[in-house]
Amino acid sequence: MDIEFVAASAAFPDKAAHALIVFEGQALSGRAAAVDQASGGAISRALSASRFTGAKDQLLDLPAPPGVAAARVLLVGAGKSDAFSDITAEHTAAQAYNAVKTSGLTSLRLELPAPGREPRAALGVRLAAYRFDRYKTKEPPERKPSVILTQVVVDDVDGALAAFSPLAALADAVAFSRDLVSEPANILYPAEFARRVKILEALGLEVEILGEPEMHKLGMGALLGVGQGSVRESQLAVIQWKGGGEVQPIAFVGKGVCFDTGGISIKPAEGMEDMKWDMGGAAAVAGLMHVLAGRKAKVNAVGILGLVENMPDANAQRPGDIVTSMSGQTIEVINTDAEGRLVLADALWYCQDRFKPKFMIDLATLTGAIIVALGNDYGGLFANDEDLAAGLLAASTAEDELLWRMPLPAKYEKGLESLAADMKNVGGRPAGSITAALFIQKFVNGVPWAHLDIASTAWKKPSGAPTIPEGATGFGVRLLNRLVADRYEG
């Protein structure tokens, strides 16, 4: 999707839809009124024959009347003017794009009812226009997006371009993350994931890839145990962005199970194809590092990706096996489908041991229990540090990637006690997301830490935000980028 910022006097491109974002009760004020005047009042007459009031999520799509240069006029309700926000600007712009994307028109012109949020509207269109179609060889033309250019009307073109630059870097990073999650597991296995991250060195990142020999030397028995049933070699990707001088880095760790069969504790066949996105946490961390480099963030950041495949061959880890983690703590593997926490155990320990970060945040599609608890609109937030938790909650609200704070009661650790090892990898069905977080906490070594369980938000069903097409969401990239920008740069 090409984005242009243009003055109101700029000529319309061919085959254009003219979208007017309007406030509730003020449908034909400002620029909308000017378009109505040019049409000789035709839009007013169409409004009088409709129920369109400008309420949030309302749409009115009209053939352009004489006097209007576009092929169609689209009114998009933004709700009350005093509630108009960056997110509202994104969503209304995305709704406009979604309404005409397969119409046969080739361009869209957007006009907002108030200046200042045009770059966020452009971001909304970029995010809504994402499509993962590289494996489609036959598709009816009417299903293919036809709109390839969006013009956003602004008063100051240069200012809008400058404001959009970091948002364009964000859109690129979200698309990168969504691509990773969308790929099938026969294409995106650990080594291929690592290769795609290595390519990000072109942005100025430093990327190291550790293979199984290096991880064996480090004693990463928990991570390596997960991947031992796969013919695909496990990897640990270490990504550094050095934009903040000689200061302590901040760190992000992602679970990257490129496919999760459940191992010997095999999952049901129904829905198992979705387990290609069990690396959504690692994809989010990779996307975050992408945007930090893309917008040249003034911060030192580290991203660690534990990349494995959980398969049930003759060499696979068995229920009852005991593994020794990099920390030296031993783990009795009760359920091989509780594998993500084993990957994070070694990745987090490695991160704190090597980099001594200011804090660590891990992201993982960790538990089905978080979906039972929170549905599909909130990720679960667990934290041992109040300031870090507060920053994450504020960023999640600002970027509409919502988190809900969950408890970490120490008494629930009793469920992790093992007769034969230092701990078990599961604590039973009750409070499954909480006991999983308590398990992970045993490997942070006192560093300020937060765990985001994003099993509920990494993949989107047909309903939801208009900026997120059905499929991979890239959840986590935006909120972590906002956290860094608001609290840790400079």
Residue 7: CB atoms within 10 Å: 10
Residue 475: CB atoms within 10 Å: 32
Q: How far apart are the first and last CA of the chain?
A: 32
Q: DSSP assignment, residue 247?
A: S
The H-or-E segment that residue 164 falls in is helix 157-182
In sequence order, the 6+-apart residues with CB closer than 8 A to the CB of 476 are 177, 280, 281, 284, 285, 287, 288, 363, 379, 401, 452, 454
Residue 341 and residue 382: Cα distance in Å, rounded? 14
b/e map of 42-80 (b: 16 or more CB within 10 Å)?
bbeebbeeeebbbbbebebebebbeebebbbbbbbbbbe
Residue 7 and residue 272: Cα distance in Å, rounded? 50
Q: DSSP assignment, residue 64?
A: P
How far are the Cα atoms of 104, 321, 344, 351, 416 from residue 420, in angstroms, in the given order?
A: 66, 10, 22, 28, 12
Closest of 434, 405, 481, 456 to residue 252, by C-alpha: 481
108 in Cβ contact with 97 (< 8 Å): yes
Is 56 an annotated catalytic residue? no
From the candidates 56, 80, 232, 267, give the one annotated as an active-site residue.
267
From the candidates 341, 442, 460, 482, give the one annotated as an active-site residue.
341
Is 405 an annotated catalytic residue? no
Question: Which residues are marked as active site?
Answer: 267, 341
